[in-house]
């Protein structure tokens, strides 16, 4: 397989783009990793998954219709965990610690 090579001007573009992004985060006081927003998103998605599960296990919800609704809500919670939390971790923005993102 041929090794990919990029033209020098594209490398300059990438380095300039990275510097602009870095300056944007610094100037606006935004963290690149972690932060309360990501933790809140993760907590909300976990609650959307686990609350219906707990309601079904405790017997509070027992009719078949509401159980199906809970399953649908749990599906949204699980997909939310995958799309929100795992997506952020794959891009290395969930935590400052590399082992958390893996």
Confidence of residue 93 (pLDDT cuts 50, 70, 90): confident
pLDDT at 59: 92
Higher pLDDT, 86 or 8: 86
Which letter does DSSP use for residue 96 in this model? S
Residue in the structure block whose two tokens are 């300056």? 23
Provide the pLDDT confidence category of residue 27 given band limits of 50, 70 and 90.
very high
Q: How much is the pLDDT for 35?
A: 80
User: Phi, psi (5° rounding) for residue 88?
Assistant: -60, -40
Cβ atoms within 10 Å of 60's Cβ, excluding its own: 9
Q: What pLDDT score was predicted for residue 54?
A: 96
Yes or no: say if 34 and 94 are a contact pair by the CB < 8 Å rule: yes
Whether 100 and 42 have beta carbons less than 8 Å apart is answered as no
Distance CA(45)–CA(37), nearest Å, equals 12
Residue boundaries of the structural domains of the chain: 33-101
């Amino acid at each position: 397989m041929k090794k990919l090579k990029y033209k020098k001007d594209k490398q300059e573009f990438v380095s300039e783009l990275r510097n602009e992004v870095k300056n944007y985060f610094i100037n606006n006081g935004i963290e690149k990793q972690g932060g309360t927003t990501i933790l809140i998103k993760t907590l909300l998605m976990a609650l959307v998954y686990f609350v219906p599960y707990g309601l079904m296990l405790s017997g509070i919800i027992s009719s078949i219709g509401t159980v199906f609704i809970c399953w649908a809500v749990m599906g949204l919670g699980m997909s939310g965990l995958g799309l929100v939390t795992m997506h952020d971790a794959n891009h290395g923005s969930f935590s400052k610690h590399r082992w958390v993102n893996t």
